[in-house]
Amino acid sequence: MKTERNILKFGRPSGVGFLLLMVGMAGCATSSGDSAGKTRDLATVVATTAAGGYIGAKEGHGKPEKAALGAAAGLVLGETINYFSNKAQREAYLFGYEKGQSDAVKQQYWIARDNQRAQSSDGYEESYYKIPIPESKADGVLREPTTRVIRVLSPKEEP
């Protein structure tokens, strides 16, 4: 009878280790675009669950109930860690996405501005004319007097 118990004591950790290894390998075999994150999440949960089960078994003097309770606590801890880690990654992604959009808009603005600028070798002269706009009232709206600037391109005069 004693030899049977010793075999079971040896078999449990090996069986659990083998099971965790197989679960970890299954997680590594995923092939989606987010497989690295899912593998990391799986590894975190497996590690915290295993550590919780080990600590529960050690502190509970080998009682299976204590080991199961420790493993459950480790599972909850692992899922909590994954939640906050993924939340931080989502926030960083959104920040980077918004920054990229902002940079793209600025880049388009400067491209459009450079395209509108007169080139020295294009054969045109650029000049600006100020036009005063008087006060006016239309449809009950009073518009204050202002000055507008008009940009005019004209062919260069050849000497």
User: Do 101 and 133 belong together in one domain?
Assistant: no
User: Do 56 and 10 belong together in one domain?
Assistant: yes
User: Do 139 and 107 belong together in one domain?
Assistant: no
| Residue tagged 């590690």 (tokens) | 47
The three-point CA angle 104-106-111 to 5° equals: 95
pLDDT per residue, tens digit, the chain (159 aa), is 455 454 445 445 545 555 555 555 554 544 444 666 788 888 888 999 888 888 888 888 877 888 888 888 888 999 999 898 888 888 999 999 999 999 999 999 999 988 887 666 667 788 899 999 999 998 999 999 999 999 888 888 776
User: Do 148 and 126 belong together in one domain?
Assistant: yes
pLDDT score recorded for residue 34: 61
User: Do 14 and 41 belong together in one domain?
Assistant: yes
pLDDT score recorded for residue 31: 46
Would you state the structure tokens that stand for residue 149, as one six-digit string?
């600037």
Q: 151: domain range?
A: 122-155
